[in-house]
Structures are given as structure tokens and as C-alpha cells.
Structure 1
Amino acid sequence: MRGGRSAAEYVTCRATVRRLLADFLGSEPADVPLGRRPCPGCGSVDHGPPAVLTPGGGPLLSISHSAGLGMLALSDAPVGVDVEAFRDVPVAELAVAALTPAERNIVLDAPEPHRTGLFLRCWTRKEAVLKAVGIGVTASLTALETKADRPGPVKVTTGPAHSVAATWWVTDLSVPHGWTASLASPTAGGRTITVQAL
């Protein structure tokens, strides 16, 4: 269940997304049919990726928000965006479930505050890829190697455990101090992707 502050942030983020999509589509915010695409893993529309449900199909989109900063990504191809606020994270506890062995070595060997920053970089990269795949954080995070010590773009490969095998290019986004964000797309360039802070 969402806390009051989190629920208010969610509502504000969705209202802003609807307004931006209306500008993009040339319509009124109330006329933007937001919904979900079927989940590629199970076919359910209850938890599939967000979508503009227009008869001709709209842009593919991804939405993320964390502690006062939201991000919207629009593209003509699958796209994923994730943003996380810097905060106290039990990195050592989460590392086994969320990081590959190579990532664990890099992250756990780093001194604070770099350790938390590297962990959140891994997390946003993984979540951006899984959002682009369309399944979100429902599959094994330890199967995605995000090369935590390298600036983006980096190549991340998904396998059968993630519903679809594909190569994704993940870029670190420029965001205000206090957050980290990543964008995943199927190619390193050539696609039109619009990213908007909310």
C-alpha cells in the first residue's frame, strides 16, 4: 500500500504524464487513453507496461518516479527508463539478490558513498532494461550484467529468463544531484527517443 506522500507523488506524476502525452499527440489530457499493454511474460494487462491505447497505436512509453523526480520516455520502439533517489540502501544485504558476481565485486569493494551510487546505477540500468522488455522487476536481476564501473552506453543482454532474448543499450541520464537514472533501448542510436523530466 502506498503511503500518503508516495500516493500523491504517483498521482502528480501520472497527471503530468497525461499532460505531456496530450501535447505530444495534439489532444486534451482527458482524451489520452492511458492503460497497459499485455505483459510479454504472461499476457495479463493487469501488470503489463504502460501504454497509450489509441486505435492506431501510440508511442511506446516508460515512466518512473522517485522522491520528487519523475521521468517519461517515448519512442517508436521498446524503451525503458528508471530513476532512483540517493538514500540509505542496505547494499550488502541486497547485493546477492540483485547483482551479478562481477557487479558485487565492484560495488562491495567501493568505499561509501560510491558504493551506494554504484549499486543504484546497477539497479536503474537493470530496471530500465526490464521495463523495455515489458516485464519490470519480475525476473532474476542477477542475470543482467550492467558493467557498473563503466559510463554508459553499455550493452546489456537479456536471455530466456526475461521472456525475450535481446541486446539493449543502456545510457546514464543527466539528472539533478541526488538522483541517478538510466534509459534502455534496443539500439545504440538511430531511434527517436524523447525523454522528459517530470
Structure 2
Amino acid sequence: MYQPEVFALTDDGYRGPAPSWRPGAPALWLVDVDLTGEHARRIAPGTLDPAELGRADRLISAADRNCYTAAHVALRVLLGARQGVAPEAVRLTRERCPSCGGPHGRPATGGGIHFSLSHTRGIALLAFADVPVGVDVESVPEARIVSEIEGQLHPAESRELAELTAEQRPAAFARVWTRKEAYLKGEGTGLVGGLDREHVGTGPRPLPGPAGWAVTDVAVPAGYAAAVAVSTAGQPPAHDGDRRK
């Protein structure tokens, strides 16, 4: 399980480390919106680009706006620290979608840095690597939501959930959902890739694979689940020290 760094903004700005990683191993940052939200909102007008500011303004909930703003400010600050440029100078683009060729694939930037961002109300998670990477964080859902969606998973995963007690099922569902979505985001297809395609498992540890990918859970606060997926194509296995326990 990966232990992320904690991203913190102060009145003096960001004073933490720049993203740094071993080949094939991600660097991860957790953003607590309660801790960083006020500072992020203050610097957002001079840090985010017009598209990001517009997207934040269109979110109806103040909590969602704050989370989006904090996540994207953190992304630009960390990418800028890695690239040696100001956060507002970071150029963000989209790769081609591997499914349809449209301009909505993985987010990208220059300098050989692969990254992924996920946020849910209250926290955000960012991953950086030298290979394609995907990350996802979610709140543990209500039992009703599990019942509505579990049929979309791989048949083996649906059976695993059915064998659990009602109390165990939401946390197990959150584990499998974040593992699956992290992998699909790393691929660049997102949920359009289908939740039933790969069997990553609902248990305390993800199953090996999918082929060409390493999927690992990420330590996050109680009430959430998170996972990161890293491309292993042409890469040596990750070292034990790459997973900070």
C-alpha cells in the first residue's frame, strides 16, 4: 500500500518537495481541502487557466468548487516544482483517446511527466510517474449505491461482494471501484472502457494485473478508498521500498 505525501499550502506558498520517483514507481500527494482550500482559493485566479476557472465556477456545490480548486492548484504547484516553472506557466493538454482518437485521453504536460488527479468531496489525490499512471479516490458509498452498481463489475467481483455481509460490502465495493477506475484512467479510456473487463478483486489486496499494469491501494483517511495503477510495459518490477508503508 502506498503512503502519499500530504500537500500543504501556507501564507508563504508551497514549501514541500517536488515530485520525485524511481523508474516505474509513482509519487503520490494527498490534498486535504479543509487544510488547503482557503489558500488555494486565494491564489487560484492567478494560478489556474481560464478553462479551469470556468469549470470551477460551473460547479453548483461550494464544497465541490473548493475541492476542484484545491486539487488543480496543487496539481499546477507540484508540476511547476518538478519542471522548475511557475504554476501558472504549466501547460496542460490531453492525449488522444486510445478508443476513439478524440482529444479526451489522459491529461498530459511536457517534460516526460505522466500524472493523474482524482478528487471527491473533501480530499484529492495526485499521482506522478515516468510512465502512464492513473489514480482514483472515492468516498465509501451507501449500501443503496452498491446495490445499484455492483452488477456492472466483473462477474467474479460481483460474486465476491455477494458473499460478504451487508456491513462489509460498501468498503469492499469502494476498493474494487477505485482499483478499476485507476487502471482505466491510466489506460486513458476512463469508465467507457467498461467495469466488467478486468478482475482486480474486492479483497484487502488487489489481484495481480491487469496485464501490463500494477494496481496498488493507497492509504487515505477513514471513510475513503483509493488506488493507483502504473504501466509496467518495459519496466522492471517496483522495489519494496517504493511502497512507503
User: Quick check: TM above 0.5?
Assistant: yes
Separation (CA, whole Å) in 1 of partners of 2:243 and 2:118: 14
Separation (CA, whole Å) in 1 of partners of 2:64 and 2:99: 28
Note the C-alpha offset of 1:20.
1.1
1:18 pairs with 2:18: no
SS class of match (1:176): coil
1:38 pairs with 2:96: yes
The aligned amino acid for 1:172 is D
Of the structure 1 ranges 125-134 and 5-14, higher mean CA displacement relative to structure 2 is found in 5-14
Separation (CA, whole Å) in 1 of partners of 2:170 and 2:108: 32
Separation (CA, whole Å) in 2 of partners of 1:148 and 1:60: 27
Correspondences of 1:161-180 after superposition (within 5 Å): 166-180=211-225
CA contact (8 A) 1:126 1:141 kept: yes
Normalization by structure 2: what TM-score? 0.67
CA contact (8 A) 2:215 2:228 kept: yes
Note the C-alpha offset of 1:74.
0.7
1:3 pairs with 2:48: no
CA contact (8 A) 2:67 2:123 kept: no
Separation (CA, whole Å) in 2 of partners of 1:25 and 1:167: 28
Separation (CA, whole Å) in 1 of partners of 2:165 and 2:131: 38
User: Runs (4+) of structure 1 moved beyond 4 Å?
Assistant: none
CA contact (8 A) 2:175 2:226 kept: yes
Residue 107 of structure 2: aligned partner: 50
Separation (CA, whole Å) in 1 of partners of 2:149 and 2:209: 20
Higher percent of residues as strand? 1
CA contact (8 A) 1:74 1:194 kept: no
Note the C-alpha offset of 1:194.
10
SS class of match (1:155): coil
Q: Which runs of 5+ in 2 are unaligned?
A: 1-57
* Percentage identity across paired residues of the two chains: 36
Separation (CA, whole Å) in 2 of partners of 1:170 and 1:8: 29
Work out which of the residue numbers 138, 146, 155 in structure 1 matches 2:192: 138
The aligned amino acid for 2:154 is T
Work out which of the residue numbers 132, 152, 155 in structure 1 matches 2:208: 155
1:28 pairs with 2:86: yes
Separation (CA, whole Å) in 2 of partners of 1:194 and 1:75: 14
Residue 28 of structure 2: aligned partner: none
Separation (CA, whole Å) in 2 of partners of 1:75 and 1:150: 25
Residue 101 of structure 1: aligned partner: 155
Residue 35 of structure 2: aligned partner: none
Deviation per residue, 1:122-142 (Å, 9 max, x gap) = 100100110111111112211
1:189 pairs with 2:238: yes
Separation (CA, whole Å) in 1 of partners of 2:161 and 2:222: 20
1:91 pairs with 2:154: no
Q: Which runs of 5+ in 1 are unaligned?
A: 158-165
* Number of residue pairs matched by the alignment: 180
Normalization by structure 1: what TM-score? 0.82
Q: Which has the larger radius of gyration?
A: 2
